[in-house]
Structure 1
């Protein structure tokens, strides 16, 4: 186990004591001697060691990376309960988890992963590692933490469906994502858009505008954040604190910050995540004030990032999660760009007798729950 390099300072002895006191023993399978440990901070594993697992796993993504997990831990203050799989003292896999509040209840869920998408990373000894990870989860759900949720990034996580359901996980399908194929080129993308989106881009081009790729700095993030905060307040969305955006500076090579100016005035922007593991761009944060809607600032920004992605060799643009209501304005807006709708794969496993009651309430009023 690598020494901690930052975060909440603890002595090396207490670090090891925390980790090894949570060991669950060896796998029953004969093929390997595996151990699963609870990691109370991603910094206890170390950046190079963890990112090596991400890069070796076919399901690794920008959301699994050390920097994203550290930003959630340090910037949002969510409690980590990561699972680390070791073999002969070497880290060979893991599953990130955070304790997150269940909206409009006093209870928590253990989530892999939120914000973003997670799930297990098991590049080697997959079957035995998965057995160990799933066996360890119930011990992490104590007190007010009543359910474990896995949010897979793409359809490849279906490979775990039977194993998950055999351990009591149930599919939960209330979100989708729109994926745009950048490999068909800019003209192909425009041809497949709805008339409304295409016309918005055409009309926007008649405006005196400029789109700039910004350096990732506290100043540029603060300016973006002011617009982001206004937009999220208007739509009654969850507003992440600025501390989270500050922490994201450590992964500036995986961020694309675009600013649009109209008639020389700041008119909003987009903060994109560059998922080099998946050759994808994630549209995770957008902030265009209402007063620039008629100037089609949003359509111009999306059109720009599509071309940017093509020029830099990315294969898909991911618009991020939305609900599955075709009458919802966000759903229709994203759909209009011609992307392919895919379900967000979510599995849930109750860890408390209270979970069925909370789940029944959520299912009754599901649009208000995440």
Structure 2
């Protein structure tokens, strides 16, 4: 049997690619062909789909996006704007060949580095960054079981949200979501992504994405853009204004999403990535989720050390404090230009 590694494009490639993603137990929603399409449609980035074939059959894949900016240089990433990525292959020998191809590609393109966002360590001896964890938990059979599985203190907070008689909707309402999300990330000192990114995610994942919005009376207080993949529910981009705290809006929202996922037959609630010892990290632990380390690995080409784009970087922290105090209209205007390199 002969192994061929190539870069692919087009309708047929998309069908083959997604068929492999659907069948492989180690793939994620970020490996789907449409993720690259959404990124390219939003930012115009170069996106590279690497496929390994054995006697014509797909036996491994690696999606790579290329980003260029004055702030953070020129680099390849698997995958941009996703929290999971990396090689998906039938066996380690095939994965090794794909990895060799990707490293040679990074060298030939003379990028600064190749970043691979693995869920688990690859086993390759290269620099890595271990500041991120992810939170996943099985969804139990009934809503009552899921509510009782939430630790007592957090369950009490959820019940407070329920008693506030909040309501929710499931829609594709990007405008309402964006108003709430952009305020939330500004308050954290983070540049907001382009509204077009969210529009494109909903467009390229029409059956596998939606927005849940929570209302206090008729006022929207928080919202989350959710992705669906196989038997998993991923509340991916979420946030709300200060008013969400007073009515426990976020607690109510994530409970209603978990309840919805249970009744719809989903099996895994993926609470997503957080930095260790941050507010988001503590919030997810309070729900009874246990952190699992993520392994982000780097093949350095032009750079001599791992880039640090994290808000925990002492050089970035002062900028975060300034950003928090800026008017929302201003951060919404310039944020998308800054954040395109942060994905």
> TM-score of the superposition, structure 2-length normalised?
0.81
CA-to-aligned-CA distance 1:293-348 (integer Å, 9 cap, x gap): 101110110110111111122222111111112xx222211211111211112222
- 1:347 is aligned, of 297, 311, 314, to 297
2:300–2:306 contact (8 Å) kept in structure 1? no
The 3-state SS of whatever aligns with 2:261 is helix
| Cα distance, 1:253–1:67 mapped onto 2, change above 3 Å | same
Aligned to 2:41: 74
The alpha-carbon deviation at position 105 of structure 1 amounts to 4.4
- 1:332 is aligned, of 270, 274, 282, to 282
Aligned to 2:207: 253
- Listed as ranges, the gaps of 5+ residues in structure 2 are 318-341
* Worse-superposed segment, 292-301 or 311-320: 311-320
Where in structure 1 do 4 or more consecutive aligned residues deviate above 6 Å?
361-364, 366-370
1:20-99 equivalence runs, <5 A: 32-39=1-8, 42-43=9-10, 46-99=13-66
- Listed as ranges, the gaps of 5+ residues in structure 1 are 1-31
Aligned to 2:192: 239
Distance 1:195 1:258 in 2: 25
Distance 1:367 1:313 in 2: 42
The alpha-carbon deviation at position 112 of structure 1 amounts to 1.2
Distance 1:56 1:321 in 2: 24
The alpha-carbon deviation at position 100 of structure 1 amounts to 3.4
The alpha-carbon deviation at position 233 of structure 1 amounts to 1.9
1:80–1:97 contact (8 Å) kept in structure 2? yes
Give the aligned length.
316
Distance 1:240 1:83 in 2: 27
- 2:236 is aligned, of 284, 290, 293, to 284
1:99–1:108 contact (8 Å) kept in structure 2? yes
The 3-state SS of whatever aligns with 2:60 is strand
Distance 2:312 2:306 in 1: 10
> TM-score of the superposition, structure 1-length normalised?
0.76
Distance 2:152 2:105 in 1: 50
Distance 1:344 1:188 in 2: 29
Aligned to 1:151: 117
Aligned to 1:7: none
Aligned to 2:133: 176
1:213–1:257 contact (8 Å) kept in structure 2? yes
The alpha-carbon deviation at position 148 of structure 1 amounts to 1.8
The 3-state SS of whatever aligns with 1:59 is coil
Distance 1:183 1:238 in 2: 36
2:142–2:263 contact (8 Å) kept in structure 1? no
1:211-250 equivalence runs, <5 A: 211-214=168-171, 216=172, 220-248=173-201, 249-250=203-204
The alpha-carbon deviation at position 251 of structure 1 amounts to 1.0
Aligned to 2:333: none
Could you say what the CA RMSD is over the residues aligned between the two structures, in angstroms?
A: 2.9
| Cα distance, 1:313–1:152 mapped onto 2, change above 3 Å | farther
Aligned to 2:161: 204
2:37–2:204 contact (8 Å) kept in structure 1? no
Distance 1:296 1:127 in 2: 46
